[in-house]
Chain A
Amino acid sequence: MGVIKQIFEISLIGGLINLDDVPLTQTMISQPIVAAPLIGWMFGDLQAGLVIGAFFELMMVYLLPIGCSVPLDGSLAAIIATGIYLLVGSSPGGQPEALISLAILSALPSSAIAQKLSVLVREVNNRISDRAQAVVLDKTPGKIDLLHFSGIGLFFLRSFSLCLISLLIAVPLIRSVIPFLSPGLVRGLKLLYFAYLMIGIALLFDAFRSRDTYWLFALSFLLATLFSTVWPLPAWMAFGMPCVLAGAGYGIRERLRGKYGCR
């Protein structure tokens, strides 16, 4: 009963957070890097939320909602994955990475379903648009506000119900499967953990690479390798120093280019 209550709570909060994705404010509370840690923090494991959020952020941040396109819903998937991780509780073989992979894997289909449901919501919203024009002609323009809010309500219903159904199916299923996972399969899931990370980085690398800036990638990689292996620094410094140094190098080059007009 306690788990059902928690599933309901996560779905309710997840549905509200997900409103920020399109219809409400768009302050990016719905981004996986915020939404997943928020759920994690509320239900007792911020660290897991941070990791799951980071994975989804890398994989989904460059799926752009441009024009009519409706991308995969990484936000809702991150919320569901965090919910699964938190509610399943025990990791297979005592490996939290394996459970994170399993949670992400289980939540990925819901990002595609959420995408389809978004399309459906927008098609229903076509009627809201027609109705808005009708209420103006009917001399009751005040109803436009109500119609607009009904679009928000519809979007919430989509997020909440998908979250609820996904968690109701996935949590008991994974709980029952975990004791039967072989050590080999746990290792496979651990490998998947790194594979997700690499796919996320590769996706962004592909989106942002250009011949002109390969050197920046190489320079920061070499510096970070240097600071994490030859002169081991704390992780935040091993990451921050190369960013600052390569950023300074880029700044100097840009200034020289501006000054001498050279390419």
Chain B
Amino acid sequence: MAVDSGKSMRQNAPCLSKLDLLRVIIRSFIFQGSWNFKKMQNVGFAFSAAPALRRLYPDQKEQEAALGRHLEFYNSHPYMASFVLGAIIKMEERHSKGEDIKIEDILTFKKAMMGPMGALGDSFFWASWRPFLGALAAALALIGWKLTPIAFLLVYNIPHFYVKFFGFWQGYILERGIVEQIRKYDLFRCSAHLKSFMLIILGAMIPVVIKLECKPPSLCLNLIEKLGIVLGILIISEFFRRKITLTRLLVITSSICILLGILNILK
């Protein structure tokens, strides 16, 4: 009898409004506010999910338990976590209504998704999309296009905001089905294409942005100079391949250039 009354009470549990979901999305923009080495994004996850959890569990004890379980270790990509956040909120909503979903299922799903989402986000956003646009923007800035920063921000944030808003919504709608949906995006293939385009940008950038003063300005001298620059770049990239760190290379290069200047070798 007690179980029945409990279940009917749960069926009357509050539903999440679109405003609640929007609050979760907006909070997810501060996902890494208190990023720490111990449990990484745990506080960020709980902070983002808090408006939904407070609505779903009006009972103080249940609310504390819900927040407490989302303060466990969490580390993923800050954008891609939106998919997981959406799915977890939906699962919590179903749990609060007394549907057949256990807390262990929610936590297992959260843990299982955090690694792959992190890898996917790191590989696409950090290692492909941002460097690709960064290099393109750097080239355009060095050419002298003054609107470069605005264009960079607008273009970069198209997939970012898509994932934050639509990704969260898809997670909320599809729940566990989100795995299939993300697979359809084929982000690894996109990363591979971006990496190829990156080389195109770097190749086109060298002759246009690196302009040494050549006297006299003949085609032959220019071409040799430009090939010399490419050779220099290949040599420097070999240093990186041999695990010489950027800091060390910058120190060495700066020292050499300044030393050449002090010794008055440069004409």
Residues of A within 8 A of B (CB): 22-29, 31, 33-34, 37-38, 46-47, 50-51, 53-55, 57-68, 72, 101, 105, 108, 112, 122-123, 125-126, 128-130, 132-133, 136-137, 139, 141, 144-145, 147-152, 182, 184-189, 191-192, 194-210, 213-214, 216-221, 223-225, 228-230, 235-236, 238-240, 242-243, 246-247, 250, 254
| Residue B20 is within 8 A (CB to CB) of chain A in the complex | no
Complex CA distance for A68 and B37, rounded to whole angstroms? 7
- Indicate if the CB atoms of A66 and B126 lie closer than 8 Å: yes
Q: A105-B254, A220-B203, A246-B200 are in contact. Are A58 and B71 (CB under 8 A)?
A: no
Interface string of B194-216 (1 = CB under 8 A from A): 01111111111111111010000
| Residue B263 is within 8 A (CB to CB) of chain A in the complex | yes
- Indicate if the CB atoms of A141 and B67 lie closer than 8 Å: yes
Complex CA distance for A132 and B143, rounded to whole angstroms? 49
Which stretch (B1-9, B92-100, B130-138, B169-177) binds chain A? Answer: B130-138
| Complex interface: chain B residues within 8 A of A105 (CB) | 254
| Residue B160 is within 8 A (CB to CB) of chain A in the complex | yes
Which stretch (B10-18, B105-113, B180-188, B240-248) binds chain A? Answer: B240-248
How many residues in B have their beta carbons less than 8 Å from beta carbons of A?
Answer: 100
State which of A58, A108, A112, A148 has its C-beta within 8 Å of the C-beta of B138: A58
State which of A145, A204, A240, A246 has its C-beta within 8 Å of the C-beta of B131: A204
| Complex interface: chain A residues within 8 A of B78 (CB) | 26
Complex CA distance for A83 and B267, rounded to whole angstroms? 30
| Complex interface: chain B residues within 8 A of A38 (CB) | 149
Q: Look across to chain B and name the residue whose beta carbon is closest to the beta carbon of A152.
A: B33
| Complex interface: chain B residues within 8 A of A67 (CB) | 75, 118
| Residue B257 is within 8 A (CB to CB) of chain A in the complex | yes
- Indicate if the CB atoms of B258 and A201 lie closer than 8 Å: no
Complex CA distance for A166 and B200, rounded to whole angstroms? 37
8 contacts between A and B (CB under 8 A): A33-B134, A64-B127, A144-B47, A144-B50, A220-B199, A238-B208, A239-B140, A242-B204
Q: Which of B196, B204, B257 has the most CB of A within 10 A?
A: B204
Complex CA distance for A101 and B258, rounded to whole angstroms? 11
- Indicate if the CB atoms of B35 and A151 lie closer than 8 Å: yes
Q: Which of B38, B43, B143, B149 has the most CB of A within 10 A?
A: B149
Residues of B within 8 A of A (CB): 29-30, 32-39, 42-44, 46-47, 50, 60, 63-64, 67-68, 71, 75, 78-79, 118, 122, 126-127, 130-131, 134-135, 137-146, 148-149, 152-153, 156-157, 160, 193, 195-210, 212, 219, 222-223, 226, 229-230, 232-237, 239-241, 246-247, 249-250, 253-254, 257-267
- Indicate if the CB atoms of A148 and B196 lie closer than 8 Å: no
Complex CA distance for A73 and B179, rounded to whole angstroms? 34
State which of B43, B64, B233, B254 has its C-beta within 8 Å of the C-beta of A148: B43
Give B164 Cβ to nearest chain A Cβ, in Å: 10
Give B48 Cβ to nearest chain A Cβ, in Å: 9
Complex CA distance for A213 and B68, rounded to whole angstroms? 49
| Complex interface: chain A residues within 8 A of B149 (CB) | 33-34, 37-38, 50, 53
State which of A28, A72, A130, A218 has its C-beta within 8 Å of the C-beta of B203: A218
- Indicate if the CB atoms of B210 and A203 lie closer than 8 Å: no
- Indicate if the CB atoms of B223 and A229 lie closer than 8 Å: yes
Complex CA distance for A246 and B72, rounded to whole angstroms? 48
| Complex interface: chain A residues within 8 A of B239 (CB) | 202
Q: Look across to chain B and name the residue whose beta carbon is closest to the beta carbon of A202.
A: B236
